[in-house]
């Protein structure tokens, strides 16, 4: 997932599921592109999934409770990072400051790449509007992947 996975890597502990999910998804895509003759394998997988789903559903419910306990307090982590950085960065509202705080590239080109990664359909030439959208989407993604994010920072 590129930039978003880098953001996850800076906020979530290495052992957190959010750091494992994007990498696991990227590997099958790369393998599928590298081996076009292996088309039989993707066709076999959908047939196996419907059979596996009824068995997986009862198992998914007990696993949901521990995942909630594994929630990472994003606000506390970013606030601590800001205190130790000694910089005046407004990570709560600025995607540029958030990226700077995390030690990531905050250039317009990097933000356009992040926008493409998150399927931004607006005008990337309107950087102010894009930046607001990007910040909100990053906070939503952090929350969706086990981050405890204040309600006023997400949809």
Domain ranges in the chain are 73-150
Write down the pLDDT at residue 7.
Answer: 96
Predicted pLDDT of residue 115? 98
Question: Greater confidence, 40 or 86?
Answer: 86
DSSP H stretches of helix in the chain: 3-11, 17-34, 40-69, 74-85, 95-101, 108-117, 127-144
> If pLDDT is split at 50, 70 and 90, which confidence band does 138 have?
very high
Report pLDDT digits (tens) over 92-131. 999 999 999 999 999 999 999 999 999 999 999 999 999 9
Confirm whether pTM is higher than 0.75.
no
Burial of residue 62 (number of CB atoms within 10 Å: 0-12, 13-18, 19+): exposed
List the one residue out of 146, 155, 134, 136 whose CA is nearest residue 3: 134
Cα separation, 15 vs 19, whole angstroms = 7
Question: Which tokens sit at 134?
Answer: 């990007």
Per-residue pLDDT of 21-75, as tens digits, reads: 544 333 333 333 333 333 433 444 444 444 444 444 444 444 444 444 478 999 9
Beta bridge partners of 148: 73
Give the model's pLDDT for residue 70: 76
Note the pLDDT of residue 15.
72
What is the reported pLDDT for 13? 83
């Amino acid at each position: 997932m590129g930039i978003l996975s880098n953001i996850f890597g800076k906020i979530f502990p290495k052992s957190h599921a959010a750091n494992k999910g994007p990498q696991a998804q990227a590997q099958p895509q790369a393998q599928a592109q590298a081996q076009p003759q292996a088309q039989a394998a993707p066709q076999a997988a959908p047939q196996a999934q419907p059979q596996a789903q009824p068995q997986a559903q009862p198992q998914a419910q007990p696993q949901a409770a521990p995942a909630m306990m594994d929630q990472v307090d994003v606000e506390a982590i970013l606030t601590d990072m800001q205190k130790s950085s000694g910089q005046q960065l407004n990570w709560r509202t600025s995607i540029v400051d958030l990226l700077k705080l995390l030690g990531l590239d905050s250039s317009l080109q990097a933000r356009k790449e992040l926008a493409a990664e998150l399927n931004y359909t607006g005008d990337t030439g309107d950087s102010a509007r894009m930046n607001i959208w990007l910040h909100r989407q990053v906070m939503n993604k952090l929350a969706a992947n086990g981050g405890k994010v204040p309600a006023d920072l997400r949809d």
